[in-house]
Structure 1
Amino acid sequence: MKTKFIFVTGGVLSSLGKGLAAASIGALLKARGLTCTIQKLDPYINVDPGTMNPFQHGEVYVTDDGAETDLDMGHYERYLDVPMSQRNNYTSGSIYHTVITKERRGDYLGGTVQVIPHITDEIKRAVLSLGGDNLDVALVEIGGTVGDIEGLPFLEAIRQLRSDLGKENVLYIHLTLVPYIKTAGELKTKPTQHSVKELRSIGIQPDIVLCRSECALDESVKAKIALFCNVDKDAVFCAVDVDNIYKVPLKLYDEGLDQKVAIMLKLPAKNPDLSAWHALVQRLDHPQGEVTIGICGKYVDLKEAYKSLHEALVHGGVANEVKVNLRYINSEEIDSKSVAGLLKDCDGVLVPGGFGSRGVEGKIKAIEYARKNKVPFFGICLGMQCAVIEFARNVAGLAGANSEEFDQNTAHPVIYLMKEWYDFQKGRMEVRDALCNKGGTMRLGAYPCRLVSDTQAYAAYGQDDIDERHRHRYEFNKAYFEQLKAKGLTFSGLSPDGELVEIVELADHPWFLGCQFHPEFKSNPMRPHPLFREFIGAAKRLKYGAKKKKD
């Protein structure tokens, strides 16, 4: 079957949930036995989100091939359980950069380079790169809101693709807002009408209108939207607010959205198998207990900055049949006096990744509290580095131990800027800055790790070799390996050649582990990541005792 393309646009305002909607539609189609992938086209000029402030953009999601992408890639991977790559996320910046590079190289033979056709052709090339004999459906989400000037080239490109590919191979879904005005007691359809009008003025007539609303739309409201938006009456669907994002696929299935998509694209008529999704929601709605995890970071005012982390902790709760309450704690507010009060009710402490020195001393105090009070601890990337610093200072007696990132003149640089990085998958050493365009060495993407037996890490994974995704430019300083090992720090995960430290832990602690990589990027609601599963399991044991989980 020729690859079918579904384009998802959004109107009225941002943050309506286009990514979740696209991921949920993909999940429904995959449950029908179809092969699917998703792509995000972002209109901003940045080449990628790698240098963007998390407060503005949320987390940077890293793929196996080292692409720094939009956080929606996480939704795509978690819902479809298929790996994303660089080709699944393009920005205006990356598109323009490619076109300008071609122009400088002379590829256009001296011709005038214009938005149409050169930019739009490059966008179409990026979209069509998804297609292939082994792919049934490619969903493409257009970032931003219809009416944004920077999004016009993307909309023009997908308008052209219907003519290029044929109407039977292209479907347009437009997500809009239908607000409920409490004082009037009414759902208002005018914003949706204007949004569709804006889209039609560009030359795109949506085939399906998906309406985000805090309450269900009755048939009269749907009929009104269908009339004014020029779509079939059975092509207006409601994406009602839910208390858990993993209910979205089931809600859209109840609306009949996947069936309408299948009919319009002439996809194989097969009912989806949603048993796994029903089982997931059942566990989420009926936990056997709850635990509280203290997340000590500096981006706590914007939860999207820790989106994958949040979801991975939820997945760990699913595996242990407990609800996970997340307590975000600003690490800048943690000191010797406040740490006990801020963490006293936490069943586990997690220190996430990050860059820069702000809030680091608070993170170190939180780790010291967890170590001394035998509270389960999980450190990720910078969190692992802070755990090493805390251990070096307070256990190994290395006064002033620090990372070169925070103190270039530290007497004991237990964490230092890596001088080179190794591409084990290709079996060769790469030169400094090979992947990095940000002025420093950066290790990005999936790298292998070999686990040491009889450790917490090995017990979690149950295998010798793993691979995990990285995003950092500082590493453990191997010069301190033997010294810290002699004091009780266990190095339970190393690169295959033994040169890079990937996991550290404490043997005399219920569960104390730090990893240099980002395991949250590979967690899935159907397959919770082993480290998050074991971390939440340890928190559950702290709260409820060592009772075994019911079969």
Structure 2
Amino acid sequence: MYISTVLRWFIYWWFRFVVPKLVVVTGGVMSGVGKGVVVASIGRILRARGLSVNAVKIDPYINVDAGTMNPYAHGEVFVTYDGGETDLDLGHYERFLDVELPRRNNITSGQIYFSVIEKERRGDYLGQTVQLIPHVTDEIKRRVTEAAGGYDVTLVEIGGTVGDYEQLPFLEAVRQLRLEMGEDVVFIHVAWVPLLRVTNEFKTKPLQHSVAELRRYGIQPDAVVVRSEKPIDAGAVKKIALFAHVPQYAIFNSYDVDTTYRVPLILEQQGMGDFLVRRLRLASREPSYREWEEFLSKLSAPRYRAVVGMCGKYVELPDAYLSIVEALKHAGAALDVKPELVWINSVEVEKDPDRLGKLGLDAMVVLPGFGKRGTEGMIECVRHARVEKIPFLGICFGMQLAVVEFARNVLGLREANSTELDPETPHPVVHLAPEQKEVDVLGGSMILGNREVEIVPGTLAASLYGTNATVERHRHRYEINLSYLPKLSEAGLVVSGWRRDVRRVEIIELPGHPYFIATQFHPEFRSRPAKPRPVFLGLLKAALTSRR
């Protein structure tokens, strides 16, 4: 009798505190409604209560990952510490949760089908007819639950809009998880409620239809997050509760604000944290937002401003550089300065280089990218910053083009270039990395993820980092050609950072310039609201100095 009682209690506590608890977030009405920010904000709310939180993004596209997608189609490719090329929402998760997520936390249809087909070819399903249910859905469930292991709560965002055909296997998989895990799975639906300007009335019908569509797949949301232009009124809440079959206390509102970093506090004030703790039976402490609120206060009311030119080829879509924009915000908050971004289309610079002198820039960032289009304009942006003594930061491709500019205009090698842009250049100051020469596939084959970087003592980089080494994330195929390094160094270019595992240039700088530094790595991916990266801090400090 005693043993059976102990066993029952063990099973009870196992399912209460050890079995993964999932918060599944879906979106309705339209894409781009802000699910990623809502998921990241929920994660921040739970983290503020001392809980360990993980976040998974599901993308229904057939691409295996985001690495081969045009930035115009999908925004920034976010790189994880272990070399995953993922959806930009993982960047939101990392910044809000202050964690480093692995590549497995971005699940795509391509990965799922690829894995199922591999298993079929291997004979894992020998004798079976391989079908969407159960084989594809089982693979989805396996990946989600594996990612959730070891955390108090795992947030699962299903990309796209309810009603998209490509979402169906994922919705079916999470429906099954709810059946299997019961109350340890919570469904939250995020949907847009438009404001009809003519009558100044919120129209909830689109949200009602998206919930009805979700129910058609066997999922009843436990909570609804209404996305809206401004706070919704009590009448809209009452109507949503009635037609979505969700209690009024489980309806939350994420309205437009000056910064997405304010969303966790808005949802907290509305009771989101208490709702989830109660609904998932979580043991947690009182929430603490002291550091977050300090960051917000600095972000919202800065004393200074700095005009920062952002030179690149995808500037019509700032999401293509989302992590860099956020990294500048983090650095700005730490320095009590607002970086006012001026987007510079490098293609337009090629047509009218003189326009750069009319922008009143305090700093210049030459952004990452690939391909030949607009690169001469980016090189002109480097030249302008170097000659006019404007504080400068080049990132990845920006560093490579900074070396090309220096070789052309300081060394006098007028035809210097990268072999990516001109395979026949007589002066390949930037060339393909040796390990990339045998690569015959494009997806997931670049130099990716974290690498250790040694910093040369006595340099600007050393003064910024305050240490002799750092770890940074990478995403590139081309690099500085070391055979040109003696000439470049003799002309004044300083290499201040080297990769630790192989001899590769990671940081360059120009002494005698107010601030001229460029990195082969992507410092933006490791920036956090309370932990800005040194090169961004240095850029804005120099911008303030030059402004004064």
Query: Shared fold by TM > 0.5?
Result: yes
**Counterpart position of 1:73:** 90
Q: Does 1:159 align with 2:175?
A: yes
Structure 1 residue 341, shift from structure 2 partner: 3.9
How does 1:150-549 map onto structure 2 within 5 Å? 150-167=166-183, 169-335=184-350, 337-341=352-356, 344-420=359-435, 432-433=438-439, 437-438=441-442, 442-496=446-500, 499-544=503-548
Structure 1 residue 156, shift from structure 2 partner: 0.3
Structure 1 residue 128, shift from structure 2 partner: 0.3
CA RMSD, Structure 1 to Structure 2 (Å)? 1.5
**Counterpart position of 1:56:** 73
C-alpha change, 1:393 and 1:225, in structure 2 (3 Å) is same
Q: Deviations over 1:203-247 (max 9, x none)?
A: 001000110011212223212111111111211111111111111
Q: Deviations over 1:38-74 (max 9, x none)?
A: 0000111111111111001001000111000000010
Residue pair 1:418, 1:441 contacting (<8 A) in 2 also:
no
Q: Deviations over 1:273-325 (max 9, x none)?
A: 01112111111121011011101101011111111111111111112111111
**Counterpart position of 2:3:** none
Q: Identify which of 141, 164, 179 aligns with 1:124.
A: 141
C-alpha change, 1:268 and 1:506, in structure 2 (3 Å) is same
Distance 2:523 2:324 in 1: 9
**Counterpart position of 1:33:** 50
**Counterpart position of 1:428:** none
Distance 1:231 1:190 in 2: 15
Distance 2:36 2:524 in 1: 18
Structure 1 residue 270, shift from structure 2 partner: 2.6
Amino acid across the alignment from 2:295: L
**Counterpart position of 2:28:** 11
Distance 2:169 2:22 in 1: 18
Distance 1:66 1:497 in 2: 16
Distance 1:92 1:497 in 2: 35
Residue pair 2:356, 2:381 contacting (<8 A) in 1 also:
no
Residue pair 1:339, 1:369 contacting (<8 A) in 2 also:
no
Residue pair 1:212, 1:240 contacting (<8 A) in 2 also:
yes
Distance 1:74 1:439 in 2: 20
Amino acid across the alignment from 1:219: A
Q: Does 1:94 align with 2:111?
A: yes
Q: Deviations over 1:465-500 (max 9, x none)?
A: 111111111010000111110110000001225610
Structure 1 residue 340, shift from structure 2 partner: 4.9
Structure 1 residue 454, shift from structure 2 partner: 1.3
Amino acid across the alignment from 2:162: V
Amino acid across the alignment from 1:291: A
Q: What secondary structure does 2:147 align onto?
A: coil
Q: What secondary structure does 2:117 align onto?
A: helix
Residue pair 2:356, 2:384 contacting (<8 A) in 1 also:
no
Runs of at least 5 residues in structure 2 that lack an aligned partner in the other structure: 1-16
Distance 1:506 1:402 in 2: 19
User: How many correspondences in the alignment?
Assistant: 531
Q: What secondary structure does 1:449 align onto?
A: strand
Q: What is the TM-score when the length of structure 1 is the normalising length?
A: 0.94
Structure 1 residue 339, shift from structure 2 partner: 3.7
Distance 1:497 1:217 in 2: 55
Structure 1 residue 441, shift from structure 2 partner: 5.8
- Structure 1 residue ranges, 4+ long, deviating more than 3 angstroms after superposition: 339-344
Runs of at least 5 residues in structure 1 that lack an aligned partner in the other structure: 422-430, 545-551
Structure 1 residue 337, shift from structure 2 partner: 4.9
Q: Which shifted more, 449-458 or 150-159?
A: 449-458
Q: Identify which of 109, 113, 131 aligns with 1:114.
A: 131
Residue pair 2:112, 2:140 contacting (<8 A) in 1 also:
yes
Distance 1:175 1:205 in 2: 13
Distance 1:153 1:21 in 2: 23
Q: What secondary structure does 1:49 align onto?
A: coil
Residue pair 2:25, 2:35 contacting (<8 A) in 1 also:
yes
Structure 1 residue 508, shift from structure 2 partner: 1.0
Q: What secondary structure does 1:334 align onto?
A: helix
Distance 2:499 2:307 in 1: 33
Residue pair 1:339, 1:366 contacting (<8 A) in 2 also:
no
C-alpha change, 1:441 and 1:108, in structure 2 (3 Å) is closer
C-alpha change, 1:57 and 1:440, in structure 2 (3 Å) is closer
C-alpha change, 1:483 and 1:497, in structure 2 (3 Å) is farther
Q: What secondary structure does 1:15 align onto?
A: coil
Structure 1 residue 7, shift from structure 2 partner: 0.2
**Counterpart position of 1:548:** none
Q: What secondary structure does 1:445 align onto?
A: strand
Amino acid across the alignment from 1:27: R
C-alpha change, 1:375 and 1:47, in structure 2 (3 Å) is same
Amino acid across the alignment from 1:159: R
Distance 2:482 2:30 in 1: 50
C-alpha change, 1:393 and 1:141, in structure 2 (3 Å) is same
Residue pair 1:339, 1:365 contacting (<8 A) in 2 also:
no
Amino acid across the alignment from 1:235: A
